[in-house]
Amino acid sequence: MKISDKRVLSVILSILIIGMLAGCGNVIPDMTDEEVQKVGEYSAVMMLKYDANHRSRLVDLSLYPDPVPEASPEPKPEPEPAPQPEPEPEPQKDEDKDKEKEKQEELVQTTLEEFLKLPEGSQLRYNGQSISLSYPEDSSPSNYFIVDATEGKKFLVLHFSLLNLSENKADYDFLTAGYSFRTIVNDGTPKTALITMLSDELSTYIGSLEGGYGEDLVLIYEYDDSIVDNIENIRFQVKSREGTWETSL
């Protein structure tokens, strides 16, 4: 059987203590506090030295680099809320556009006289059309004002008769009423009548008619030669704030 060093040390210390007690009697030698502390430290060191099961947990920190303190994460700034864009108006649907266009182009089903709000007993009669390079074509001295078509173009002149078929005098004012007289030739682009200084121009006519009398009036449109020389159909329109009146000529 193997005897441990710890047991051997214990036996030796016991013999020494007995010898000291035998040689000196029962008197414990006087020692200072420092000597007592040294003896205690020596005894503790020797016992730990021969204790095979003892493992020191002391670590020399000088052999290891100083640990780097962990940097505390800086608080992230809260992102500012992005400005909310104003909601864009919804694009107008094709159906709505079509409905609006239909509403604008909706034709009024009534007589021309009722649409123009002519005095009772009045009639606006269409008398036909003519094509010319100037109007009026008669250059007599009585016609002190004449309009000429632009080069490469011609006038399409629509002739009307404004009649007062009643027995009473009637007043007419087409200028301030704000009517727009248009023609559409061969299903093309609508054209608005020219504004001239002619006294017999329908769109600017202001005058009075005694009962049973009438006045010849015209509307003048300027078209390219290629169009007026090949007229297949003409649509005549009158537009106002209340709608559109249309007929085929």
Name the pTM for this structure. 0.56
* Contacts of 164 by beta carbon, 8 Å cutoff, 6+ apart: 119, 121, 122, 170, 209, 210, 211, 212, 213, 214
Has residue 244 got a pLDDT over 60? Answer: yes
Has residue 190 got a pLDDT over 60? Answer: yes
- pLDDT in the model for residue 197: 81
From 74-88, 90-104, 187-201, the region with the lowest mean pLDDT: 90-104
What is the average pLDDT across 143-149? 79
- pLDDT in the model for residue 68: 47
Sign of the torsion formed by the C-alpha atoms of 113, 118, 122 and 127:
negative
**What percent of the chain lies above the pLDDT cut of 70?**
55
Answer whether 214's CB lies under 8 Å from 164's CB.
Answer: yes
What is the average pLDDT across 95-123? 74
CA–CA distance, 204 with 175 (Å, rounded to integer): 4
Answer whether 178's CB lies under 8 Å from 240's CB.
Answer: yes
Comparing 41 with 241, the larger pLDDT belongs to: 241
- pLDDT in the model for residue 235: 94
Which DSSP letter does residue 102 get? Answer: H
What is the average pLDDT across 33-46? 58
Burial 156-175 (b: 16+ CB within 10 A, else e): bbbbbebbbebeeebebebe
As given in the structure block, the two tokens for residue 186 are 């061969």
CA–CA distance, 246 with 236 (Å, rounded to integer): 6
**Which segments of the chain belong to CATH 2.60.40?**
107-248
Decide: helix, strand or coil at residue 39.
helix
Q: List 183's β-bridge partners, or say none.
A: 191, 236
Say if domain 107-248 classifies as CATH 2.60.40. Answer: yes
What is the average pLDDT across 120-129? 93
CA–CA distance, 171 with 94 (Å, rounded to integer): 45
Max mean pLDDT among 1-10, 74-83, 221-230 falls in 221-230
